Copies of this chain bind each other. A is one copy, B any other.
């Protein structure tokens, strides 16, 4: 049994740079085939204009493929993002699932205050912290032990897995483009400077933050324009 409190996000490959946005946008106004050149690589002004005026399509030609490990309850939210996303996930029908479970880290806020749509979360007290950890470890262990015993009895994997809790880790590949990624980030991170603030569950935000690092690194002008324009996806 392994208990983790973190998320894995690896960038498997990418065909994504700021110049992709620029060359795609320029076909509208210039026609013909823009070449990659120094001037296009640094065209922060054009990228900011596109972001501000919500011309989203030029951002669709830059692609990222991620490998992600996260608990089922996170992946359930993740895969609701459909437009511009492709997925392949580990299957509980085709393979035996590994005993890796999520448990909140010490600092994870445990209490929910405020109202629907704008919940805030505050630190749990000592008793809550101890109880939640103990409960998660106990239920996860019992469920997994049961799962294994059912497999040993030759029960089908797709049946045995029914007892496993949603804090079980799963792994998947996700391919998206810069536009669909920014849309995801706008909904799955909380940033006070956003024009339309979102209130995501902390665990999916942990995944989103790691993905945002890659966007920031490989498409710095795009990321800056996103940030500067209220984190509204174009």
Contact = CB atoms under 8 A, between A and B. Distances in A.
Interface of A: 10, 12-15, 20, 23-25, 27-33, 49, 53-55, 57-58, 60-61, 63, 65, 67, 71-73, 76, 79-80, 82-95, 97-98, 102, 104, 108-112, 116-119, 121, 124, 127-128, 131-132, 135-136, 138-140, 142-143, 146, 149-150, 153-167, 170-173, 175, 177, 187, 196, 201
A150 B177 contact: no
Q: Say how many copies of this protein the assembly contains.
A: 4
Given A72-B72, A84-B86, A165-B165, 19 more contacts: A15-B15, A27-B89, A28-B88, A28-B95, A32-B90, A49-B117, A53-B117, A57-B86, A57-B87, A63-B63, A76-B76, A76-B79, A86-B177, A104-B159, A135-B146, A138-B146, A139-B163, A161-B166, A164-B166
Given A95-B29, A165-B163, A60 B89 contact: no
Contacts of A79: 76, 79-80
From A121, A149, A159, residue with most partner B Cβ within 10 Å: A159
Contacts of A164: 165-166
